[in-house]
Structure 1
Amino acid sequence: MTDLDDIDRKLLKALANDATQTAGALGRRFGLSQPATWRRIKRLQDNGIIVGRKLDLDAEKLGFGVTVFLGVKLAAKGRVSLDDFERAVSAIPEVQTVEHVLGMYDYRLRVTARDISDFERVLRRRIMTLPGAGDVEANVLLSEERRPGPL
């Protein structure tokens, strides 16, 4: 684990809130020069603490009005089955996240669709035909009050 000081933590929090901030702006905010701030950010990236920057899009404004969380239990367990399932489900564009979980289901998927009938099409034609797919439980997202933020 990398040792982080208070400035590193402040930089991470600021970047988690708005990753478009420049090293110069962050440096002025935290009393550092632009090169010193850039070196800190680069070190955080090189150490794998900052693993990327992400663009958040408003799915509803882009025509995707339904988000469904699916619990998927595999019909056949085994290493080949897990790998085949993960590879196949990751290729479906409507599947936004694939999480291998412990519990009643083997996977938790976040699926976006234009509407319920579009979701049904994705479920029947793409997800239920995946290698190893067994029982499925769907939970429709009604609202999202808090988005993931800094740790």
Structure 2
Amino acid sequence: MIALDDTDRKLLRALARDAGQSAGALGRRLGLSQPATWRRIRRLEEAGVLKGRRLRLDAEKLGFGVTVFLGVKLAAKGRASLEDFERAVSAIPEVQTVEHVLGLYDYRLRVVARDIPDFERILRRRIMTLPGAGQVEANVLLSEERRPGPL
């Protein structure tokens, strides 16, 4: 675990709001020089605190109007079953996240689709045919509140 000071925390908050900012712009906001800001960013990356930078795409504007969370319970459990399922489900482009969870289901998937008929096609032809797929529960996303910021 890395020790973070107040400046590190401010830097993380600023990057969480907009990861595309230059080191110079971040430094001006934090009262640091560009090289000092860059050194802090590199230190946080090397320590594994920063794990890359991402763009957030608007799924709806890209034609994906439906997001569904699926709870998937595997029919058979075992190390091979888990690995086969994870490998196969990760190859489906509409599956945005795959989370191995503890509880009623073994996996929680975030799936995007153009509309409900498109989701039904994805469910029937891709997800239900996965190795080990058993019981599935779907929850359609109605709205989402973003809470940007660091942990």
Q: Where on the TM-score scale, by shorter chain, does this alignment land: which range? A: over 0.9
In the TM superposition, structure 1's runs of 4+ consecutive aligned residues that sit over 4 Å from their partners are none
Percent identical among aligned pairs is: 84
Seen in structure 2, the aligned counterparts of structure 1 residues 120 and 101 have a Cα distance that, compared at 3 Å, is: same
- Is residue 20 of structure 1 aligned with residue 20 of structure 2? yes
Distance 2:22 2:149 in 1: 19
Deviation per CA, 1:17-74: give whole Å up to 9, x if none: 1001111011111111100000000000000000011110111111100000000000
- 1:148 deviates by 4.9
Partner of 2:117: 117
Distance 2:24 2:148 in 1: 26
Q: When the two structures are superposed, what TM-score results if normalisation uses the length of structure 2?
A: 0.98
Distance 1:55 1:8 in 2: 22
Q: Secondary structure at the match of 1:98?
A: strand
Q: Secondary structure at the match of 1:72?
A: strand
Q: When the two structures are superposed, what TM-score results if normalisation uses the length of structure 1?
A: 0.98
Q: How many aligned residue pairs are there?
A: 151
Distance 1:146 1:27 in 2: 26
Q: Secondary structure at the match of 2:110?
A: strand
Distance 2:149 2:67 in 1: 20
Gapped regions of structure 1 (runs ≥ 5) = none
Distance 2:145 2:32 in 1: 35
Partner of 1:9: 9
